[in-house]
Amino acid sequence: MSLELGLNLQPQMQLKVTPKQIAANYILQMSSAELIEAIAEELDENPALEMTELRACPLCGSRIAGNYCISCFPRTAAGEQRVVDDLPGERSQPLLRDDGEEFDPITRAEAGETLEDHLIWSMRVALPRHLHAIADYVIGALDEHGFLTASNAEIINATGASSEDIEEVLTTLRAQEPPGIGARNTTECLLAQLQYLRENGEPVLDIVEPIIKRYLSDLGGRRFREIARKLHVDKGEVIRAWEFIKTRLNPYPASAFASAADARRAAVRPDVIIRNVDGELQVEIVESHKFNLHVDSLYSRLARELRNSEASEAERDHVREYVNRARFFIDNVNRRRATIERIAQSLIERQGEYLLNGVQHLVPLTRAEVGNIIGMHESTVSRATAGKFVLIPSGEVVPFSHFFTASLGVKDQIKKMIEGEDPHHPYSDADIAELLAEEGVTLARRTVAKYRDELHIAPARLRHPAA
């Protein structure tokens, strides 16, 4: 028996994650708020890293140099710039303040914005640019209760706009929160709030609407018996309607803005904004318009002059270490922005119909499919989108995961079917499954029941007990 010792060289493939990849993935999965904290910490620790805050238009978010935004500054018919100071009731001021305020869809709420600020921003998001000046005038014509004090004729005389443009602006205004804003009187306001409750699937007593339309003054005088006699109902029903109006409706919509602002303060900050610009969807990475990272000019010059300088080895090591660290950090932040932008662009390609026309157009999509589109692994897409949010053209802030939820479009279809059903013959889950099958969507009855529960909609036998 003999033992032989020898050396054999065999090639072997191994996957190793470098420290640079680990750091890049760590930054990639940060939200905007977490990234700002990481940048602040790095700025404190690395003297070679420098951040420059960028000026952006508070209306459109475009980078600017100077006092006015070329993109959104109003122009005359001849194409010359002018300040909007010729509309009655309009404040004479430039559209861009000189304080360098940056565009951020959530900043206004966090700063305790006024109702006027909230409406101006919302209307500018929802309306094409040529209607912005009209919207500003209409918002300026709201009284302290949120009622519109100007007639359509007065708005036309003041702005020179067409009646069609006025109607578009007023319809958009009345679709904003708080519900009832832009109504011309209490009755209009309460009816708008009633419609808002119905659209959100909340039960509304049948007697409430006729009371608001015809007997609001009687209700204020608590003439319950007289209202009941005129409507041929019991006095108890009128009292229940009175309680409903007191607790669920607000005759002065502007007074509800404080609570709406509180709710918005708790809202998440979007990491990405997708805009609808004349039918074309555009992507903006929020922090790309807020700051720019670069190597400090002194350290950059010293790094170039190291070879020819008489600096000590310790000084050279100091400069090299911090300059390389700054470049490494900047590269990772830029890679993060580029990755998120590529993912958002792929979402526009696959979910463009949803972004333009509503959730019923949402198509099934996986992170692996997005990874194939942009040439990255599914895990990279998952890291880049986890915990991040997108402001979509409708004005809603949704998580990235929203785009990967194939059931949302089906849920919307189910909700619309139930909203349009005959109260005397409500759809069962089996009926809904059959109707969906006719539209090319195959779902089991139990899946329909699951989605209905998630929408907080009662079963058929409980939806219209009085019908």
pLDDT at 3: 66
pLDDT at 405: 64
Three-state DSSP at 456 gives coil
- Amino acid 186 reads T
Q: What distance, in Å, lies between the first and last C-alpha atoms of the chain? A: 97
pLDDT at 15: 53
Locus of tokens 């190597």: 295
Write the DSSP assignment of 244-275 as a string of letters.
HHHHH--S-GGGGHHHHHHHHHTSPPPSEEEE
- Joined together, the tokens standing for residue 366 give 């996986």
Alpha-carbon span 50 to 42, nearest angstrom: 10
- DSSP code of residue 150: S
Can you name the residues that pair with 115 across neighbouring β-strands? none
Write the DSSP assignment of 329-369 as a string of letters.
HHHHHHHHHHHHHHHHHHHHHHHHHHHHH-GGG-----HHH
Is the CA virtual torsion 323, 328, 333, 338 positive or negative?
Answer: positive
Superfamily for 407-463?
Homeodomain-like (1.10.10.60)
Write the DSSP assignment of 291-336 as a string of letters.
EEEEE-HHHHHHHHHTTTS---HHHHHHHHHHHHHHHHHHHHHHHH
pTM over 0.75: no
- Joined together, the tokens standing for residue 451 give 């989605």
Per-residue pLDDT of the chain (467 residues; tens, 9 = 90+): 566 666 666 676 655 555 666 777 778 878 777 787 788 888 888 888 888 876 655 444 455 555 444 444 443 333 333 333 333 333 333 333 333 344 344 444 344 457 777 788 888 878 888 888 888 888 888 887 888 888 888 888 888 888 898 899 999 888 888 888 889 888 888 898 888 888 878 888 888 889 888 888 878 777 888 888 888 888 888 888 888 887 788 888 876 554 444 444 444 567 888 888 888 898 888 777 677 888 888 888 888 777 666 667 787 788 888 888 889 999 988 998 899 999 999 999 988 888 888 766 777 788 888 889 889 888 888 888 888 888 888 777 888 888 886 566 677 778 888 888 888 888 899 889 888 877 667 778 888 888 888 888 888 888 875 55
pLDDT at 111: 44
pLDDT at 60: 45
Q: What is the CATH number of domain 107-178+257-265?
A: 1.10.10
Q: Which residues contact 6 (CB under 8 A, 6 or more apart)?
A: none
Q: Is 402 left (phi over 0), alpha (psi -120 to 50) or beta?
A: alpha
